Each structure stands twice: as structure tokens, then as C-alpha cells.
Amino acid sequence: MTFCHLSLTTSGIKILKMKQLINVLTSIFLIPIVFFSCGDDEGSPMPVKAKFSVNDSSIVVGQEVIFTDASTGEPTSWEWSFEGGNPSGSSDRNPRVTYNQPGEYSVELTVSNGRNSDTIEKEELIVVISEIKADFFVNDSSIVVGQEVTFTDTSTGEPTNWEWSFEGGSPSSFSGRNPKVTYDQPGEYSVKLTASNGSSADMTEKEEFVKVFLPVDASFTADQMTINEGGKVNFTDTSEGTLQSRRWTFEGGTPGTSVDSNPEVTYSTAGTYRVTLNVSNEASSDTEEKEAFITVVGTVKAQFEADKLSTNVGEEISFTDLSLGTPNNWQWSFEGGTPATSTVSSPSVVYSTPGLYKVSLTVSNATSSETETKDKYILVSDLPDVGLIAYYPFDGNGTDNGAMGFDGTLFGGITPATDRNDRPGMALSFDDSNGHVRTTNELDNTMGNGVTFAAWIYLSTETGASMGIISNFNGQGSFLDQCTPGNRIGFNLIIQSDRSLRMTYGTNSNKYRGRTTSANTFELNTWYHIAGTWDGRTENNNAFKLYVNGVIRDNATFESGLARDICDEFVESESPFYFGTASCASGLCAPFNGAMDDLVIYNRTLTTSEIQSLAEQD
């Protein structure tokens, strides 16, 4: 007979042989028993029931979870599925799973014992949240006292609570996400934030995070504001506030810039100069600029000039200040002048009495003073006014100081020379070569009724040749034997080779008429006043007179090639006037060797007394 047994594995009931079981049932119920066939005697498994537990269902990102199988029915295999987990599945009985992304995830378990199986799924079992990482920023971490700043929470992990601590701030603490805080004292302050939610918390502290400064206010002083050229100025930064940096700019100074608190600056050139100071810190900046703050004046050096150094009585002379060092005060003194003094920078003065006069100028500014005096500076002549065509003082130039303005042009070897009054540069020196002064041909337009030439001369070298003083003889003109303009016509006043003085009026082919002095009239290295006059007559040699130092000295007639009178009347030469040379057929000739000064030309014959007056003047 085959035996069957009932195995109660859960209650531990002993397996009974089928025959014993049938006998018992038969004796009790008295019913026929139908036998059936059973399998082997090891028994059948009970149905499985899937169950599991987890050590923590609310976790943060990256946290590991331990799953524990609690299934019944003696399962022999396990198949897990972990939504969002790593690993995403497992066949271990009690697996470990990590979750790396926040979210709510399901877990499914299927268990089996080989005969039957069961599956359980728990939806949104695992809640994964991000880990709290506290952080924040501020709209401005460098501020001035009293300024409000706004803190902004940038924590990660979805915090729901925020606790702030503000060192030095008002308020000093705060519960909330984005507080506003005011700082009333300068310093560097820490800020602390604790962020949390129900599962995670984190704290961060930023030391010396908020820097609070006193606002800057730029200002400065200087130990002096008016200095001489080359002087030094010491500047002092008197700015207020919390200074972290400064920059000076010195217009016109050396150095031109500086970052020192008390720089020393040198100014080399006169002028008025701007100074700028910029100060700043991390939270504020300010600039102080002072226009024309530094005045630099030169150590004054008195200098001046006059528009002319030789003049006639009653004429005006303009003086110009040329002083260096930016003077702002002038004290003039004019010997013999009207006015005798002046305080303007460039006065005008009239001289009423002939003479040689001194001029003095004292200039000053806030730091210095100097005087320049020029002795024998202004020569005032009492030249007869009537008939004066031109007046050439030869004060180093060819300027005509007469009313007509027939200025001469200097050519060749002419240099300024010392005049008869020992005034350097107040005469002209001619070098016995091509040096000469040439002026306009309009000078002889009104000479038909007479002429006077006068000058101071100084012979420096014995040349053994004639030397031209004044000439408008047209040596380049036509040889036609007629008295018409453009022919060889004109005056010559020359020193002849024997050192006599000759004045002639010539026409056509070397035909001259005039007068001459005796030989050796002049010594070398001596100033002489010479004059020659013509009274307008062409038919008589006695129409000419020659003077040396105011005395009539002509003693001989000078004629050359005269077949008849040279001209019936005066004829213009149409030639320029030359001083220091003459005009010949071959070109300029008879160069002068020496110095000349104060040359005058009249269109009338001056009287002997008038010429004597010229010779006696300084």
C-alpha cells in the first residue's frame, strides 16, 4: 500500500502514515473508505507571499538604502526592481541600493519557491531629496557706513528654513530666505547661514565677507601756492574717510603724477597750474580739482626795448617790457622824458630836449624784483623839421625815422657797431667789400631846389681807394648826352683816395661838377661829422659846400669832362640811394670801410648854423 503524509511545516505537525489515518476515520465515522493514490512521502510547499522592508524610505541624494526580504512561503528566489536606483535590479535576498537623483521611486519584489510565486510593488516608496548645501551672495560686499545690502540665498537641496547671523549688522540675525541688512560701523564682518529642511541641514560661514568703509572725501593743501620757477611745493592729502588708494595729477609739475600722501613737486616753467587728487576705497571714490592752484613766477629779470633809439625833438618813443619771470609790477624812469615815470608795462614817452638819455625799469612779482638801467639809451636830436626827407639813425638797422619812412635794406657785410657815444650796436659797420644800404629811388623826387647830406663817419682802415658815403648817381644809366631821367645823373658824396671829401652832381659821360676839401682831411679811428649841400644851381660850382665837424672845409672846384654846363636844371636820376658804396658803369664801386651813424637827407640847403647844430649834438 502506498502511504501519503501531510506535512505542516509551519506548525511542526508530525507526518502520519495514511493507513493509520484511515483506520482512525473508519472507526469513528463507520463509512467506507475509498483509497486513492498519493505521491511520495516528502510533502508539498505552501504558497509564498512577497513582503519586504527598508531601513530608510526618506533619503538624500547619494544615500544607500538596505532592503530586507520578509516574504513567507519559503521563497527560494528574489527578483527586485528599483526605479531610479543603482542598481536598478537585483536577485539578492537583501540588496543595497543607492539613489543619485531626487524623486519618489517605486520598488517591486517578486519571490518564488519553484512551485508558486508572488509579487509586491510599493509605489513612491523611496523619497529622495537633494542634500542641503548652504550658500548665498550679497548685492554688494564693499559698502559705506549706513548702506543697506541684500543677501540672497542660493542654497541647494530645497531648504525650507533659513537662519542667518550677521556680525556687525542690523539686524544681527534673521529667519527667512533673503534678508536686508544695514551696517553702521566700518569694519570687515562675517555672515553665517544655516539652511535646512526636514531631512537635511547645512551651515556656511563667510568670514570678513562684508567690508564696510567710511565714505571718502577728497581734499588737500599745499605749503605754498606762489613760487619761483624751479621752486618746490609740498602737498598734503587731508582727505577724510577710509582711504585705500590715491592719485595726484600735477599739471606743469615734476613728477606729473604721484600716489604718495605728501608728495613734493617741482615747477620749472612760469604759469598757473591745476592740481587734482582722486581718493578711493572699494566702496567709494571722490576727486578734488583746483584750477590755477599753483602760480609759478620766474625770478624776474628786467628787460625792455624801445621802438627807436634815436629820435627828433618832440617825437614819441614807445617802450616795451620784455622782462622774464612774469612780473606784475613796473616802475619806469625816463631821464629827459615826458612822463618822467610810469607804472604801465609798455609806456610811450616824448622827449622835448636834445640829448642822450638814460632809461631805467624795475620789475617785480610776489617773489622777486630786478632793475635794468640803460645809460645813453635814447638819442634825441634837434633836427630841423623843414625839408627833412629821411633820417637813418643806423641803430643796427636801416630804418628811416623820418616822416616819409624810406627804410633802407642792408646788403652784404654790414654789422652793428659802437657809435660815437660808446653805445654798442647803435651804428653800422661797413666791411670794404659789398656791404651797403640801399633805399628807394623816390628820395630825389623833390631835390630840384637844393639838397643837404649829413652823417657821422668813422674811417677804420686805409684803403688807398675812394669810399662812397652817399650816392644816387645812376652809373648803370644811358650814355646819351642829354639831361633826361634814366641817364647817368645823380649825386655823389665820397671820401677820395687822398682822404679828401668830395660832393658832385654828375650827368652823361662822366661829366661832374662840385667841390672838394683838401687832402688828408680825415684821420683813421676818429668820428667826424660831415655834410654836403647844393643850392639847386647847375651852372656854378659854388652851388656846393662841404662841412667837416660843422666847419666849411671845401677849398677847390671839382669838374670832369664838362663841355658845357652839366644840365640846365635838376633832373631825377631814377636810381636808388646807396649808403656805403657808389654806382659805376661796372656796377657798385667805392666800398666804404668804417662806420656810419645818424645820416640825414634834406631837400633844401641847410644853413651853416643848422649844420653846426647837427655837428654839436650828441
Pairing of strands 329-334, 355-364: antiparallel
pLDDT at 7 over 80: no
Does the pLDDT at position 10 exceed 50?
Answer: no
- pLDDT for position 485: 62
Which of 511-520, 568-577, 601-610 is predicted most confidently?
601-610
Per-residue pLDDT, 491: 87
Does pLDDT of 35 surpass 70?
A: no
Residues 406 and 442: beta-carbon distance below 8 Å: yes
Weakest mean pLDDT among 167-176, 197-206, 525-534:
197-206
Collect all residues with Cβ–Cβ distance below 8 Å to 564 and sequence separation of at least 6. Answer: none
> For 391-438, what is each residue's pLDDT tens digit?
999 999 999 988 888 899 999 889 999 999 999 999 999 986 778 999
pLDDT at 23 over 80: no
Check pLDDT > 80 for residue 567: no
Distance CA 60, CA 203 (A): 17
The answer to whether 294 and 282 are in contact (CB under 8 A) is: no
Specify the pLDDT at position 129: 84
pLDDT digits (tens, 9 = 90+) for 373-398: 999 999 998 888 899 999 999 999 99
- Residue 429: partners with Cβ closer than 8 Å, 6 or more residues away: 414, 415, 416, 417, 460, 594, 595
Cell output for 255: 613728477
Is the model's pLDDT at 57 over the cut of 80? yes
The residue assigned the cell 549706513 is 146
Identify which of 377, 397, 399 has the alpha carbon closest to the alpha carbon of residue 303. 377
Answer for the pair 496, 516: CB distance below 8 angstroms, yes or no.
yes
Euclidean distance between CA atoms 478 and 332, whole angstroms: 57
Cβ atoms of 455 and 495 within 8 Å: the answer is no
- Cβ atoms of 163 and 173 within 8 Å: the answer is yes
CB 371 within 8 A of CB 362: yes
* pLDDT tens digits along 62-87: 899 999 999 999 999 999 999 999 99
Instruction: Decide: residue 429, CB within 10 A, 0-12 exposed, 13-18 middle, 19+ buried.
Output: buried
pLDDT at 489 over 80: no
pLDDT class of 564 with cuts at 50, 70, 90: very low
pLDDT confidence of residue 608: 95
Catalogue all structural domains in the chain, each as residue range(s) with its CATH number: 1-44 (no CATH), 52-129 (2.60.40.10), 136-213 (2.60.40.10), 220-297 (2.60.40.10), 315-381 (2.60.40.10), 388-616 (2.60.120.200)
Tell me what pLDDT residue 478 has.
57
Per-range mean pLDDT, top range of 271-285, 536-550, 558-572:
271-285
pLDDT in tens, 111-152: 999 899 999 999 999 998 888 999 999 999 999 999 999 999
pLDDT band for position 9 (cuts 50, 70, 90): very low
Q: What is the mean pLDDT of residues 555-584?
A: 73
**The pLDDT value given to residue 247:** 96
**What value does the mean pLDDT of the chain take?**
87
At residue 562 the predicted structure's pLDDT band, cuts being 50, 70 and 90, is low
Rounded to whole angstroms, the Cα distance separating 455 from 419 reads: 12
pLDDT in tens, 320-329: 999 987 899 9
pLDDT number for residue 337: 96
pLDDT tens, residue by residue, 532-545? 999 887 667 788 99
pLDDT in tens, 331-340: 999 999 999 9
Report the b/e string of 228-238 with b at 16+ CB within 10 A: bbebebebebe
* pLDDT at 25 exceeding the cut of 70: no
Provide the pLDDT confidence category of residue 297 given band limits of 50, 70 and 90. Answer: confident
In tens, the pLDDT along 456-486 reads 999 988 878 899 999 988 766 655 555 666 5
CB within 8 Å of 8: residues ≥ 6 apart: none
Cα–Cα distance measured from residue 434 to residue 412, given in angstroms and rounded to the nearest whole number: 5
- The per-type count for the chain, helices as H runs and strands as E runs, is 2, 54
Compute the average pLDDT of residues 342-368. 94
Report how far residue 222's alpha carbon sits from residue 586's, in angstroms, rounded to the nearest whole number: 75
Residue 19: per-residue pLDDT: 45
Instruction: Quote the pLDDT of residue 415.
Output: 93
CA distance 308 to 357: 13
What's the pLDDT tens digit per position in 154-186?
998 889 999 999 999 999 999 999 999 999 999
CA distance 77 to 323: 118
Place of cell 516608496: 125
Q: Is the pLDDT of residue 550 over 50?
A: yes
